[in-house]
Amino acid sequence: MSEEQAQQLLYQMQMLENMFGELTQKESSIINIIREANSAIHSIKGIDTKTESDSLVPLGLGAFVKSKVKSDEKIIINVGSGAESHAKFPETNEISDV
């Protein structure tokens, strides 16, 4: 094997290592999104079973405000591209099962 071939193989190995690192980061992001979605689904189902629930609403930077959530109120769901959907809790459970 010539030195030029060894350099090419080394370059290819470095490129593959970089690609692997990027894929690992993307995988981690997807796993976090799935966990957050499962948590949201679990919370929605828990609220639906009660007539009224106490909740903490995040304001940002670790600040929260206490609130009461009623199961007969509508929930707002982000459906992407800045669009949102309004649905009552039973309808939301149907959406989350998809």
Across all residues in the chain, what is the average pLDDT? 85
Of 69, 24, 23, nearest to 49 by C-alpha is 69
Report the alpha-carbon distance of residue 9 to residue 36 in Å, rounded: 41
Q: What is the pTM of this model?
A: 0.63
92, with CB counted inside 10 A (0-12, 13-18, 19+), is: buried
The CATH classification number of 3-96 equals 1.10.287.370
pLDDT, one tens digit per residue, over 33-56 is 999 988 888 877 777 666 787 888
Neighbours of 89 (CB within 10 A): 19
Share of the chain above pLDDT 90, in %: 40
